[in-house]
Amino acid sequence: MATKYLYIDDEDQASLESYVRAVSGARKINIVSEPPIQFDEQVRHLLEVLKGYDGLILDWQLDDIATANGKAVAFRAGSLAQEIRTRETSKEIKPLPIILWSTKPKLRKSYTTDNTSHDLFDHVYDKATVVDEAERVQLELISLAVGYKKIVSHKANAEPNEILGIDQEAFERLNRSLLKALPSRDQPVHSYARFILQQLILRPGPLICEELLAARLGIDKERSTDWKKLLTRNLEGGAYSGPFSDAWPRWWSDSVEKEWWHSLGAKSPALSALNARQRVKRITAATKLKNLVAAEPIAKSYSDYFQTICEVTRRPLDPVDGVIIDEPEPKAWQDRRYISIDVALERRGEDDDLRPDVSERERLKEIRDSRMEHAEA
């Protein structure tokens, strides 16, 4: 059965057809679009119809339309999402993902600075990229709906480690601050869902993405024809299997970098003590996978003692060759994210809000001045 979303947007409904059709794909997902109506009527309508849906998509600005009786719709998505979350908590509406689907100008105009609304939405999409990235968006929307159902079915009776898909021993080894921050059973499902996605999956720390996994193993995953074999045959035990894992594949960093890595040899030094070629040599010898290629640095002058990735190029990076990006202070269990020095100097990534942290400005100025001096010499 197709996953079903209700989509409320004040644009002309015919103009929304391209988004809906692209994301629906081969009818794996069914998106029904409607214009907004007056707030009280809208809430009453949603209380009735959301029983038949797996999720809700909202445009940020819903106040650019007049209803049939001539009254303007005078609310935005944040107000409606807040009401839905309140009704979920009182069990008038079943827990379900709420997605924000809007344009960057609209989001930057008011949503970005409205911190009170951020916790209401599970994920935010830029309409401009929805059609081009329809397959990814479809997969993520389905995963969000399925993940909510998984949390609902487990939260009341299962232990926290079971929700996250790891055994109790591994769970207890997680960062203490993370264990304390996990939502409790009496908190709403959307709090649990948002914490898992925003604080665990989308920020590196205990869980790492495929690019970061490859970087820490020193492997160029694009040039390595045995990369998928390594993932399925050797690293499967470290794969995250909790909510949203089907759209956002992640691996438990400790399981891979400590348990699995040290299982390759009793005297194996830490991954961070080896460069990319040395790491790949050891992995190849232990796994007999001969088609693993060591990753090369982004620039010739860069180190290949990779620990992170450049968030713009998605290529392996040693933090010494990168700058911290400007984003909220990471939690105790989260890692810093970086862009390469060259990306920062060329100001790439700014359209995606990947800018150097203010603390990096003086260092970047010194690097820029030094390069100019060498160029003039």
Average of pLDDT values for 55-82?
76
pLDDT at 155: 77
Residue 232 vs residue 11, higher pLDDT = 232
pLDDT at 323: 97
pLDDT at 233: 95
Give tens-digit pLDDT for 77-99: 889 999 999 999 999 999 999 99
Give the single-character DSSP code of 297: P
Indicate the pTM of the whole model: 0.92
pLDDT at 266: 61
CA pair distance 157, 161, nearest whole angstrom: 12
- The overall average pLDDT reported for the chain is 90
pLDDT at 329: 93
pLDDT at 154: 84
Domains located in the chain, CATH noted:
3-150 (3.40.50.2300), 159-201 (no CATH), 300-377 (no CATH)
CA pair distance 25, 129, nearest whole angstrom: 15
CA pair distance 181, 177, nearest whole angstrom: 6
CB atoms within 10 A of CB 233: 11
HSE-CB of 370 using CA atoms within 13 angstroms:
7
CA pair distance 125, 101, nearest whole angstrom: 5
User: How big, in percent rounded to 5, are the helix, strand and coil portions of the chain?
Assistant: 50, 15, 40
Beta-sheet pairing, 98-102 with 55-58: parallel
Query: For residue 234, is pLDDT > 90?
Result: yes
CA pair distance 101, 198, nearest whole angstrom: 17
Give tens-digit pLDDT for 152-205: 988 777 788 998 999 999 999 999 999 999 988 888 999 999 999 999 999 999
Query: For residue 62, is pLDDT > 80?
Result: no
- With b for 16 or more beta-carbon neighbours within 10 A and e for fewer, the 238-269 pattern comes to bbbebbbbebbbbbbbebbbeebbeeeeeeee
CA pair distance 197, 48, nearest whole angstrom: 28
CA pair distance 324, 307, nearest whole angstrom: 13
Query: Hey, is 173 helix, strand or coil?
Result: coil
Beta-sheet pairing, 207-208 with 251-252: antiparallel
- Residue 102's pLDDT band (boundaries 50, 70, 90)? confident
Residue 261 vs residue 117, higher pLDDT = 261
CA pair distance 376, 373, nearest whole angstrom: 5
Query: Hey, is 56 helix, strand or coil?
Result: strand
pLDDT at 68: 47
pLDDT at 118: 78
**8 Å CB contact between 321 and 302:** yes
Query: Hey, is 61 helix, strand or coil?
Result: strand
Query: For residue 341, is pLDDT > 60?
Result: yes
Query: For residue 368, is pLDDT > 80?
Result: yes
Give tens-digit pLDDT for 118-154: 789 999 998 888 888 999 999 999 999 999 999 998 8
Beta-sheet pairing, 308-309 with 316-317: antiparallel
pLDDT at 337: 98
